[in-house]
Amino acid sequence: MITPILLAGGSGTRLWPLSRRSYPKQFTPMIGEETLFQASARRLSGAGFADPVILTNAEFRFIVTEQLSAIGQEPGAVLLEPAGRNTAPAILAATLWLAQDDPDALMLVSPSDHVIPDAEAFHKAVASGVPAARNGKLVTFGVTPDRPETGYGYLELVEEARAQDGPIPLRRFVEKPDAVSAQRMCESGRHLWNAGVFLFSAKAIVAAFEQFAPQLLAPLTDAVARARADLGFLRLDPTAWAEAEEISIDYAVMEKSPDLVVVPFAGGWSDLGDWEAVRRSLPGGRDGVALSGAATAIDCRDSLLRSEDSGLEIVGIGLEGIIAIAMPDAVLVADRSRSQDVKQAVSALKARNAGQATTFPRDHRPWGWFESLVTGDRFQVKRIVVNPGAALSLQSHHHRAEHWIVVQGTAKVTVDDHVNLVTENESIYIPLGAVHRMENPGKVPLTLIEVQTGIYLGEDDIIRYEDVYARA
């Protein structure tokens, strides 16, 4: 049995404005109907796989469980990282947690934001690496390059990948190359893209950390030992976690270990690291123009047009080599050769404190989500969607009153000592200071329009009395 370890804490700033710190790319349907996280979880399931262990941060904990539930899966555990520390601490924490019950457990570590279209071929590649992993080797997976890519790191093998099945010894890691070097490596037959996917036993990777990164063992051991259970999640101890060095698994262990071997994989792969990678992965992208959402292209070439708002049509005329992404609150237009530089836009927006830099227009909560439709002086209009069976906290506000109009489903509304059922085309008023709660007792999502009025409308004007999600 192999235990998948899914890393789901990244921010994906090169895919702004769709991917933001508050709601990064792994939880978004970038390619197809499912999110990247859901597709990754589905790919690492079935015969021979245990329930996945998820590493993420506290902000995404309910998104993780909700998205898994939507595809009929349950996590083996969800470990919450107190802060981002790169991949080495995350992987070691998962390993130490898993090794408590089974030091010989096989672990398949994978990012949750990559695309691998051929899951069957990937399973065969994993199976070919299992004997080596059981024998104490650290197995990684290298993707056969189909173009001279300068945005990926490479793995140089001791012999040509085409000459052998199963794991091949690694000669060295190669950092992201220039165009000339990338072309040479693409043609060599001995270089593969570094996919950042690993297979090993818990015992073997702990031994590798002991040898090559011993400074991580004490803080991560303490972080797991002092972890606190919280509503089915496991919160790693923040004090111990803060003492761990921020470092990738490649730098900490893999580049130093003589026990690393590589399984070549030619089944197709992308890390969707920028908008150009997304363009190539979408239908029509390799031939020139890729469209997503409400988008129209007229006489365009080698471009990506994508709208994430069904009410906002994006139209390109005579474009060549352009990336154009439309969101309700931001629009990106860039030369596709500059896709790797989109993170500069995020930095520029952060410098002038623009909320679009990090905050997604749709605010996801444990019970569902909301978005602001109109904001003015002393008023705000929101759309709120509450999942079936979910409930907002019992709360009150110091500075605002609210008016709720139900447009789909049925709401169970508590206002002070009164409980009412409010159905479609009905409304209810929540006076300033009233203790209130909204619940969805039905089996379909509850959608309502909320009109707020008052002198202050910030999200921090909430006094919570009861909350099934244990928020402060």
Exposed, middle or buried, 338 (CB in 10 Å: 0-12/13-18/19+)? Answer: middle
What is the full DSSP assignment across 148-191? --SSS-EEEESS-GGG-SS-EEEEEEEPSP-HHHHHHHHHHSSE
Tokens 């993170």: give the residue: 343
Pinpoint the alpha helices (H) of 353-397.
none
CB-CB contact of 322 with 289 (8 Å): no
CB-CB contact of 457 with 400 (8 Å): yes
Neighbouring C-beta atoms of residue 233, cutoff 10 Å: 21
Exposed, middle or buried, 425 (CB in 10 Å: 0-12/13-18/19+)? Answer: exposed
Whole-angstrom distance, CA of residue 134 vs CA of residue 97: 19
Task: Identify the CA nearest to 455 among candidates 398, 403, 372, 399.
Answer: 399
pLDDT attached to residue 166: 78
Outline where DSSP puts E strands in 46-190.
53-57, 77-81, 106-111, 138-143, 154-157, 168-174
Mean pLDDT by 10 residues, the chain (472 residues): 93 87 90 93 93 93 92 94 94 96 95 93 94 95 89 86 75 88 85 94 96 96 95 93 95 93 91 91 82 93 90 93 94 93 92 90 89 91 95 94 96 95 96 96 96 92 87 65
- In terms of pTM, does the model score above 0.85? yes
pLDDT attached to residue 150: 83
pLDDT attached to residue 432: 94
Whole-angstrom distance, CA of residue 139 vs CA of residue 116: 18
Tokens 């991949």: give the residue: 87
The one-character DSSP state at 25 is: G
Task: Identify the CA nearest to 89 among candidates 222, 211, 203, 193.
Answer: 222
CB-CB contact of 395 with 465 (8 Å): yes
